[in-house]
Amino acid sequence: MREGSITDAELEQDFPVLGVLYDSCAVGGRAYRRASRERLDLLSGRVGGDLVAAMRQQAVPGAYRAFARQIGLDPDGDAMPLEKTLMQRIRAGRFVPDDQMQDPCTVAMLETGVPVWVADDAALEGRLAIGSLPGVDDAARLDPAPARPGDLAVWDASRPVSLLLGEVAGDLVPTRRTHAVRLFALRVEGVPDASVREALWTASQLTGPAA
């Protein structure tokens, strides 16, 4: 497990705790896929509609909501990752499996409150970092997420990967041809480093062996 850098000194000063932690792992076989689905089934029985109402008072989800406001997002207008997943649970009556790469991230987030994102490791260059989008061309590469110059994003060595708390760029999303993935999570004020590491560890253990 590694921690990326903050590329802007002013950003580092404004958010001294902010960080991106990440890990790479291979995409495992059927046993890993089955383990993720079994965990989702168990969580479906434990997590109900009452949690949606209570979660804003919980420390870790509340910390991500507070951070969203600090960087100019509206956590009420644009549902946070955990809220989106819980609302889908209410509509469907259970947590519906997605795919082998996304399901481990969902399990990790439900168990820790820490959102975890996944990208195709082969499509990334070098280490991850956090920085702002300097121009229109960089913002456009985050399609389908709307982005503007100055927005904060997770970067690899050459391009933006996702807006902070946003979706991974479409051309970096893992597919059935993906052999290894890069999992990453944000550390923000109010979220213990141990919780972020636990979320990444959980997601990686359900995805496959270390790459």
85-131 pLDDT, tens digit per residue, is 888 888 888 888 888 899 999 999 999 999 999 999 999 999 999 99
Contact predicate 113/195, CB 8 Å = yes
* pLDDT (0 to 100) of residue 8: 86
Is a pLDDT exceeding 90 seen at residue 154? Answer: yes
The amino acid at residue 159 is: R
* pLDDT (0 to 100) of residue 58: 86
CA dist 112 and 102 (Å) reads 16
Condensed to tens digits (0 to 9), the pLDDT of residues 122-142 reads 999 999 999 998 877 777 777
Residue 17 binned pLDDT confidence (cut-offs 50, 70, 90): very high
Is a pLDDT exceeding 90 seen at residue 159? Answer: yes
Condensed to tens digits (0 to 9), the pLDDT of residues 194-210 reads 999 999 999 999 999 98
Residue 21 binned pLDDT confidence (cut-offs 50, 70, 90): very high
* pLDDT (0 to 100) of residue 56: 63
Condensed to tens digits (0 to 9), the pLDDT of residues 36-47 reads 999 999 998 887
Mean pLDDT in residue range 68-79: 87
Percent of all residues in the chain with a pLDDT value above 70, rounded to a whole number: 95
What are the DSSP calls for 81-127, one per residue? Answer: HHHHHHHHHHHHSS-----TTTHHHHHHHHHHS---EEEEGGG--S-
The overall longest dimension of the chain from CA atoms, in Å, is: 46
* pLDDT (0 to 100) of residue 48: 66
Chain centre to alpha carbon of residue 63: 15
In the chain the domains, ranked by start, together with CATH numbers, are 2-207 (3.50.40)
